[in-house]
Every structure is written in structure tokens, then in C-alpha cells.
Structure 1
Amino acid sequence: MDRWQAMRIFVKVAETESFSESARQLRMSAPAVTRAIAALEDLIGARLFIRTTRSVKLTEPGSRYLDDCRRILADIDEAEAAAAGSYATPTGTLSITASLLFGQMYVLPVMHEYLETYPTVSGSLLFVDRPVNIVEEGIDVAIRIGHLPDSGFSAIQVGSVRRVVCGSPDYFEQHGVPATPADLKDHRIAVSTSAWTSPHWRFAGDHRVTIDAWLQCNTNDAAIATATAGLALTRVLHYQVGPALLDDRLRVVLADYEEPPLPIHVLHPEGRHAPAKVRAFVDLAVSRLRGNPLLN
């Protein structure tokens, strides 16, 4: 018999002052209760009860041990209740990671809504353009763009993104519209060195173009701002310029030459055993991201 169960039996006998009544309440046989107390006394090396034909009374060591047992059992009950609660009700701190611009544009609003809905949860966001080991860095949920390696993690696809070449209407009015990828050699190109380190741009149909950048920027935002200002074309993931496309500040060209889109996944490592805080966020994120027309 395990020690936790033996301590539970001991507390019951101390409270009822009866082996038979304890056995009845615990739905055990009286001999089993007697054996449990005897085994506990052997383990401790002290008598816990003074037994007579009419009464069962605690010894002095038994009285001290009773206080300790009650405290230990209460701590166990509290720990189990806390663990069960974390799987039933969202609580604690939820940590999310995503790429920088995607996180700021699309994940941050989901986190705002989530925290407003679940006031017992606090949030932690890691938006970086680098690979994140979600286990080693203690991340609960990751939103990933691109094809995923086999990991055993739970992954739900919520959309897809395309690499697009885009520019402003003013730029196209002054410099013309490229009809094929090869035409890009005759245009100004602003590139983000943080996102695309290679000057060789690939397109569908095995088209390849070596880009001589007119402007190199260390952020996507700077390259996009340059294109929006009408100074150059740029190539980015279409979600990054979604608002500018909707209000016609930017337009996509060479759509017929785009490579297959990249999937977007909501990823977490705990599968069916994920705590409530993770399940609630995943459900909300899947709903909101799938419902966003800029991500499909």
C-alpha cells in the first residue's frame, strides 16, 4: 500500500477512534485497515495508537504525526485541485511566438482579445525573425509560416501566404509594369536583407532572376515603405502588405509567376493534454486567422 493511502487511513482512524468505523467509511475491510496502520508504524518506527478492547487513542508521537499528515494531505489535495483547474479553466501565463511583422499585425490583436476574455491569464509575446525552439524557450504556442518538419507537435493550418512583387500605382505610371520576371532587371528594387539574403529570386515555371538591388534595407517595413512611396518595387509575403493592397497604395504584379503559397500553422507541443489556457488560445487563434481574408 502506498504511503499516501496509509496516511489517509491513519487520519481516518484518528478521527473516528475506531478501526471498524474507519473501514466502513473508507469502504475497506477491517483487516486491511489494521494492516495499513501496522505497516505505517513499522515504517515510522513508533506506535501511533494505544488500542484497547473499547477504545483507540493516539499516542504522543501519533498526535504529532496526525498534524503533519493533515498538512501533507491538504497540500496534495491543493496541488491536485490546482493542476485540475489549470486544465479546466484558463489560468497562468500564456507565451506565444511568431515572426516579427506577422506577430504585430495578426497575432497581437488575437492576444488582446484573448486576455480580455480570460482575465485570469497573463500573456507573454516573443516576436522575432529567427527560429525559436518552443520547448527550450518555454513557449506554449507558435504561429509558423512555411512547411513544418516532423516534430510530433499538434499543428493546425489556418491559412497560407504568397510571395508577391508589388509597387505603387505612381511607380507603375512612371516606370511601367513588368510583364515577366526577367523584366525586373529594368526596375528599381528595394530588398529586405533580414528576410531575403539571396539576390537570386525564383518564380514558378523555373524562372530565375538575379536582382541588383537599388536599395537594401534591414527590415521589411523599410522596404515596404520605399515601395509605398513610389520609389521602387519590392518582394514580400503578401500578408505584410495586406492593408496597403486593400486601399490600393500597393498593387501586385507577376501574379501568374508566383511560387506555391506557404502554409500558416498554429503549433503547440502538448497535444490533447494541453492545459485550458492553451486550448482556449488555439481555438480563438484558429477562428480569427482562418477568418482573415488577407491570410487565405
Structure 2
Amino acid sequence: MDKLEHLRVLVAVAEAGNLAGAARRLGHSPPAVSRAMDQLEARIGAQLLVRTTRSVRFTEAGERFVADCRRLLGELDEAESLAGGSFREPQGVLGVTASSMFGRRHVAPLVLAFMERHARVQVRTLFVDRIVHLVDEGYDVAVRIAHLPDSGLTAVRVGSVRRVMVAAPDYLAARGEPRTVADLAGHVGIGFSPMGATATPWTLHPRGEREAVAIDTPLVANTGEMAIAAAVAGRGLTRTLSYQVAEEVADGRLRVVMADHEPPPIPVHLVYPAGRKAAAKVRVFVDLAVERLRALPVLGGA
């Protein structure tokens, strides 16, 4: 194998999670993949992988090198596409990332619609509740629900969401509907922390001013679904993004309270590198995603 093929093998190992899976993807034998990794590590002079019979784990140097390899191979594929005229026709591998719940509910359907139209494109998704660094981690397009910092990425706004406070009607009937910060003293909160941390004060915005409010929070959920399910079950008030409870509010299982204490809406963007120079697979996917996402009632338009 030549140097370039060694890099492709390394990326395949990273995506498959083991040598045997990489071998199947590439049509090589497992011993050939193992030899390629040995030769690559010998040439670089650093250990990239820690191998067992069933899986591999990348060293810190290996993780950095894989990210560099993905970027280099992506640039090479794009150069070949330009030379061959396929810049105008979507093909290749497209990486799409979004937050976990938004990805499952709203990005997954448009990915499937895109694949139905463009059979030459393979798609890999990463729906996680953290910021994915597109270039370093080898992804092409992200949906970001946040106020974006300045960066070299192209951003297209597709809508916005609100951070709302909700509770079940039965809970509100028993405890009363809070209308002011002082009213929260008699209520129970359902917290949310992706890492399962202890409860923190809630930040509200009465009269447009920022105010931290301590609330009794006997339950702290590490997923939005858990916090919402607890609220539906009448366990207390919870704060969440409006799209996450759109169905529950529409069918009456939850009610929005203290809407006049909400922070400003949070914008939703599609972000991607390269701008006008983006490959066809990216440009065509972004066009479809902008159309579909802007039509979602939960985003309220751009």
C-alpha cells in the first residue's frame, strides 16, 4: 500500500471501530489492514492505535492524526470531483450533525428525503448534545441552535426557538399557575443537565432583565426526554426549548407558563465550511434543508 492508501485505511478503522470492520469496508484482509497500521505507525514514529482482539482505541496522537487525515482526504476527493466534473453532481460521503433530539425529530427525515433523491451520496449522521467541530471531525453540515460566534463557517438562518417553562395542567391546578418570580417559591422544578450535575438556579428575564432564581429541584434529568416526561407526569415545572414540547403543548399535556419571563428567542442556523466553493453534495443538501426546516412550524420561519 502507498502512503495515501494507509491514510484511507486509518480513517476506515476509525469509522468501523475495529480492524475487521475496516477490512470489510475496504475489501482487504484483516492482516493487510493490520500491516498497513504497523507500517503507518513505523513511518510516523508514533503509536496511533491501542488494539485488542475486538476493538481499537486511538491514542491522543492518533485522534489528532485521524482528524487531519479526514480533512486531507476530503480536500483530495473534492479536487478529484472538480477535475472530473462531479462538482455539479452530488456524490461521495456527506457528514451531517445536530443536537440529539432535534436531529432525531427533524434532521433525520430530511436526510432520508435527500438520499431518496441522490442515490450516489452516502450520509453519516452524528446527533449529539455538544458542539461538533466540522473540519476537525470530518463533518460537512451542522444544525446549530445557538447565538453563533464569529467564525469562518457559512451560516444560513432557518428559524428560531424559545426557551419555555412548562407544566402539566393537573400540576398547575393543584399548585396554582406561577406568574411572577416570587410565585416560584411554592413550586417544584425539574432540572436538566446533560452530565447529570446538581441543580443550578434558573435564569429568567422579567421585564427583559436577567435574574437567577433558586427553585426546589428534587429531580435533575440528564436528557430532555426525561425532564419532559416528568413534567407530563405532573412532577413539576421544567424549562426546555419550544420545539421539544411542541406536541405536548399542542395536545394539552403541557402548558406554557410565565411566557413574559422568557429570554430572547434562540436562532437556528445551518452552518458549513467553504461557502460558494462547497461541493455539490453540501450545496444541494443545504438547499433542501433550508427549504424543509424553514417550513417547520416549530421554528417559526427564518
Q: TM-score, normalized by length of structure 1?
A: 0.70
Correspondence 1:245 to 2:245: no
DSSP 3-state at the match of 2:231:
helix
Correspondence 1:280 to 2:281: no
* Deviation string, structure 1 residues 178-235 (Cα, Å, up to 9, x no partner): 1113322211111111189661222222333112212111111101000011221110
Q: Distance in 2 between matches of 1:87 and 1:203?
A: 48
Counterpart for residue 201 of structure 1? 202
Contact residue 97 and residue 103 of structure 1 kept, 8 A: yes
- Which of 255, 262, 286 is matched with 1:258 structurally? 262
Q: Distance in 2 between matches of 1:140 and 1:206?
A: 36
For 2:259, the aligned partner's letter is: A
Q: Distance in 1 between matches of 2:196 and 2:134?
A: 24
- Which of 222, 225, 230 is matched with 2:226 structurally? 222
Counterpart for residue 98 of structure 1? 98
For 1:191, the aligned partner's letter is: G
Q: Distance in 1 between matches of 2:80 and 2:168?
A: 59
For 1:214, the aligned partner's letter is: P
Q: Distance in 2 between matches of 1:256 and 1:196?
A: 29
After superposition, where does 1:67-146 map in structure 2 within 5 Å?
83-146=83-146
Identity of aligned pairs, percent? Answer: 49
Q: Distance in 1 between matches of 2:196 and 2:259?
A: 19
Contact residue 196 and residue 220 of structure 2 kept, 8 A: no
Counterpart for residue 183 of structure 2? 183
Q: Distance in 1 between matches of 2:225 and 2:135?
A: 30
Q: Distance in 2 between matches of 1:110 and 1:95?
A: 13
Contact residue 182 and residue 209 of structure 1 kept, 8 A: no
DSSP 3-state at the match of 1:135:
helix
Q: Distance in 2 between matches of 1:82 and 1:149?
A: 31
Task: Please report how far the alpha carbon of residue 255 of structure 1 lies from its aligned counterpart in structure 2 after TM superposition.
Answer: 0.4
Q: Distance in 2 between matches of 1:251 and 1:118?
A: 41
Q: Distance in 1 between matches of 2:160 and 2:193?
A: 23
For 1:114, the aligned partner's letter is: F
Task: Please report how far the alpha carbon of residue 80 of structure 1 lies from its aligned counterpart in structure 2 after TM superposition.
Answer: 5.1
For 1:210, the aligned partner's letter is: A
DSSP 3-state at the match of 2:138:
coil
Q: Distance in 1 between matches of 2:177 and 2:132?
A: 39
Higher gyration radius (CA): 1
For 2:285, the aligned partner's letter is: F
Q: In the comparison of the two structures, how many residue pairs are matched?
A: 218
Q: Distance in 1 between matches of 2:146 and 2:81?
A: 40
Q: TM-score, normalized by length of structure 2?
A: 0.68
Contact residue 199 and residue 212 of structure 1 kept, 8 A: no
DSSP 3-state at the match of 1:256:
helix
Q: Gapped runs of 5+ residues in structure 1? A: 1-78
For 1:146, the aligned partner's letter is: A
**After TM superposition, where is structure 1 displaced by more than 2 Å over at least 4 residues in a row?**
79-86, 195-198, 205-208
Q: Distance in 1 between matches of 2:158 and 2:290?
A: 6
Q: Distance in 2 between matches of 1:155 and 1:117?
A: 24
Contact residue 160 and residue 262 of structure 1 kept, 8 A: yes
Contact residue 86 and residue 277 of structure 1 kept, 8 A: no
Contact residue 196 and residue 222 of structure 2 kept, 8 A: no
DSSP 3-state at the match of 2:217:
coil
Task: Please report how far the alpha carbon of residue 83 of structure 1 lies from its aligned counterpart in structure 2 after TM superposition.
Answer: 4.3
Q: Distance in 2 between matches of 1:201 and 1:259?
A: 11
Contact residue 94 and residue 124 of structure 1 kept, 8 A: yes
Change in Cα spacing, 1:160 to 1:216, as seen in structure 2 (3 Å) is same
Contact residue 192 and residue 220 of structure 2 kept, 8 A: yes
Q: Gapped runs of 5+ residues in structure 2? A: 1-78
After superposition, where does 1:40-79 map in structure 2 within 5 Å?
none
Q: Distance in 1 between matches of 2:249 and 2:129?
A: 23
For 1:267, the aligned partner's letter is: V
